[in-house]
Amino acid sequence: MDAKTKMEWAEISERLQGLRPGWHVSPQGHLERRYRFPDFAQALRFANEVAALAEAEGHHPDLHISWGECAVETWSHDAGGLTGRDFSLAARIDAMRGAT
């Protein structure tokens, strides 16, 4: 399947299995995960790292930062749902974060 083509639920479910635990599909059909940190500064640092990665990829997730937490929410606006780009970005964010 093309990286820009909206996926059907069967493929989404299969691709979720390939991501680290914590990723889920929201009721709105967005791919989401919350990352926890010991303080606000580390959550903000992570958000900035994700922003740099997203800019390099040309695919920009929504980032929600709060004390000790950064939530990542991604979907492909132009496709109207999840595509291979979302799963690729999620895997790269997990790799950047390490095992946690």
**The CATH fold of domain 9-97:** Gyrase A; domain 2 (3.30.1360)
Is the predicted pLDDT of residue 87 greater than 80, yes or no? yes
* Whole-prediction pTM: 0.90
Per-residue pLDDT at 4: 81
Where do the domains of the chain lie? 9-97
Per-residue pLDDT at 1: 53
The per-residue pLDDT for range 14-66, each reduced to its tens digit, is 999 999 999 999 999 999 999 999 999 999 999 999 999 999 999 999 999 99
Query: First-to-last CA distance in the chain?
Result: 29
